[in-house]
Structure 1
Amino acid sequence: MKANLKYSAILILLATVWGSSFILMKRGMIDKATGDLIFSSNQVGTLRMLFASTALLPLGLRSLKIITSYKIGISLAVVSLAGSFIPAFLFTYAETGISSGYAGMLNSMVPIFTLIIGASFFRQQLYRMQVIGVLIGTIGIVILVNGVSVVDTSGTYLHVMAVVFATLCYGLSTNTMRYNLSHLQPLKVTAVAFVFAILPALFLFFYFDTPATIMENEHANKALIYISILAILGTALSLILFNYLIGKTSALFASSVTYLIPIVAVIIGFFDGEILSWIQVLAMFIILLGIFTANSMKKQIVKKTEGL
């Protein structure tokens, strides 16, 4: 019981951090006071990966010895690219056409792809309660989206599909971590995964002419603070906790965090002056019911309780 409470607390913490990440991306691109463009979507994605990789580089270099086989090396590359690098650019691009709130809601497709990929490529057995839970959670998300009148959905299908593809990447990464890397320490796995990302991020840092923007844009320093928080808290440290959660519970339980993210976004909006309707409250309870249903099986109760 104590272990389950701990993992539920981690899930809520991740939802809180990641639920705030979408607005941090937006603040890294656009100055709130003036509406002026600061960094492009590609530059924000690059800086996010570069900051996160740099923060974990010392540990990552010391942990390279965990690569003891070709399978582990390939799996780490998949976690690096699909779990952080590619989505970092897809989400910032998406937010050039849709609101952060809408992007957060679309992100809730992760459990669906996690379930499909797990069953299709990792021989994960599907249970009735898992499928029912995912369906209930999806219904809750649909109600939540339709109950938000302040969400900007004016972007093109490319912006929407960018988020969809990012959730597909997350589903692949989550299953790879759960079935190929869960026997390794999450801290080392995350650190080594970011070692794989630092050279591409460094190349793109100069390719997208990011140094010039930092030097020339008067709002750059403030935007860099938002991006740094996004990179360190919302990427590096959060992925350590997320990978730990995957190893201790199940891929589906860990990916359920994306059902909680829209709830966080709505609550943040409420405190920021947005209206909270009864439909949104109902949707939140339906989402929570879906998470509980999908993860209520004894087979998914954690057995290992050792720390990070």
Structure 2
Amino acid sequence: MKSSVKNALLLLVLSLVWGSSFILMKRGMIDKETGDAIFSSNQVGSMRMLFASTVLLPIGIRSLKMITSFKIGVSLAVVSLAGSFIPAFLFTFAETGISSGYAGMLNSTTPIFTLIIGVLLFRQKLIQNQILGVLIGTIGIIVLVNGVSVIDTSGTYLHVLAIILATLCYALSTNTMRYNLSHLPPLKVTSVAFVFAFLPALFLFLFFDTPKTIIENEHASQALIYILILAILGTALSLILFNYVISKTSALYGSSVTYLIPIVAVLIGFLDGEVISWLQIAAMFIILIGVYVANRMKHKVPSIGK
């Protein structure tokens, strides 16, 4: 299979998995039938990281020897914190105030921030199409953020800001992976990154009294199934695939998975009874147009560590 087709298929798979992760977070916190709260946003975030890191811990411990320099160690820490740990808590908090479909839409800002951080921190050359794409995407972000007061009346700008911050974290992690770690095996990079996350996740799992909720809440067993799927499939395994795509292509190409994530998230949210406004849909398409324009002209990606 040609590498370009293979990478495109992997992005499609990732969009389906990550597009469904928003509703999985919601189901981990709230029982669909009764509307009763099950786990808090912090509890879901800690379990997501703890379960994912536990799955990859055996590989990660054996792969620690790949840390042969201070730069690699710091880069792995950035991928761990910015690529998974911090966003896990920001997204679950955001979904206490906004719909999963809207969260998926806001996630489409990732490629714009990936491009900006690539230019500012990693000296990526910016071409004309990318500048235009950033401007279009920024307009879409402004429209989308202002849409929260129209539909998601239970949410605040703080919930929107949480996702914007999470996408900034993703952008930093994606560029770090591409420019500093692309010469290392994606499985080992992901596994070691989760080794860094294991102890903090375990501490927060206990700190937020998660075991007590598991024992006492009658809906906890059902919610745990959703969280396990989110952690193992939507976090651990998906990040391995994502890091593989990044290592073979570019940071901007990899972040383009958010072309399809909002569509998947919105469709699943709609089927689950969520309401999406035309303003939000229009804003999403503006952002996607911006990302498309930024990616339209193929430009040479520097070969790093090859």
The one-letter code matched in structure 1 to 2:155 is G
Q: Which residue of 2 aligns with 1:18?
A: 18
Q: Which residue pairs with 2:181 in the alignment? A: 181
Match of 1:70 in 2: 70
Aligned equivalent of 1:163: 163
Unaligned runs of 5+ in 2: none
Superposed CA RMSD in Å reads: 2.9
With over 3 angstroms needed to count, the CA separation of the structure-2 counterparts of 1:151 and 1:190, relative to structure 1, is farther
| Aligned position for 2:133 | 133
Taking a change above 3 Å as real, the CA distance of residues 169 and 258 of structure 1, as seen in their structure-2 partners, is: same
- The 3-state SS of whatever aligns with 2:296 is coil
Structure 1 residue aligned with 2:263: 263
Structure 2 distance, partners of 1:278, 1:207, is 41
The alpha carbon displacement at 1:276 in A equals 8.7
Deviations 1:154-210 (A, max 9, x none): 312221111111111111111111111011011110000000000011111111111
More off after superposition, 96-105 vs 269-278: 269-278
Change (3 A) 1:192 1:244: same
Secondary structure of 2:124 counterpart: coil
User: Cα distance, 1:4 vs. partner?
Assistant: 1.8
Range that drifts further, 270-279 or 102-111:
270-279
- Say how many residue pairs are matched: 304
Give 3-state SS (helix, strand or coil) of 1:295's partner: helix
2:260 aligns to what SS in structure 1?
helix
Compared CA separation, residues 120 and 142, structure 1 to 2 (3 A):
closer
Letter in 1 for 2:201: A
- How far off is 1:152 after superposition? 2.3
Q: Separation in 2 of the partners of 1:124 and 1:228?
A: 37
* CA distance in structure 2 between the aligned counterparts of 1:172 and 1:196, rounded to whole angstroms: 17
Task: Using structure 1 for the length normalisation, give the TM-score.
Answer: 0.88
Contact 1:49 1:198 in 2 (8 A): yes
* Counterparts of 1:121 and 1:303, CA distance in 2: 17
Between stretches 64-73 and 93-102, larger displacement belongs to 93-102
Deviates most, 8-17 or 221-230 = 8-17
Residue by residue over 1:60-109, the C-alpha shift from the partner in whole angstroms, topping out at 9 and shown as x without a partner, is 11111110101000100010001000110111111111111111111222
The equivalent residue for 1:219 is 219
After superposition, residues 111-126 of structure 1 pair within 5 angstroms as 111-126=111-126
One-letter identity of the residue aligned with 1:176: T
Structure 1 unaligned residues grouped into runs of 5+:
none
123-132 or 223-232, which deviates more: 123-132
Offset of residue 136 of structure 1: 4.3
Partner of 2:209: 209
State the AA in 1 paired with 2:29. M
1:265-280 aligned within 5 A = 265-272=265-272
Q: Percent identity, please.
A: 76
Counterpart in the other structure of 2:247: 247
Q: Is the 8 A contact 1:140 1:286 kept in 2?
A: yes
Q: Distance in 2 between matches of 1:237 and 1:297?
A: 31
Q: Which secondary structure state, in structure 2, belongs to the residue aligned with residue 298 of structure 1?
A: coil
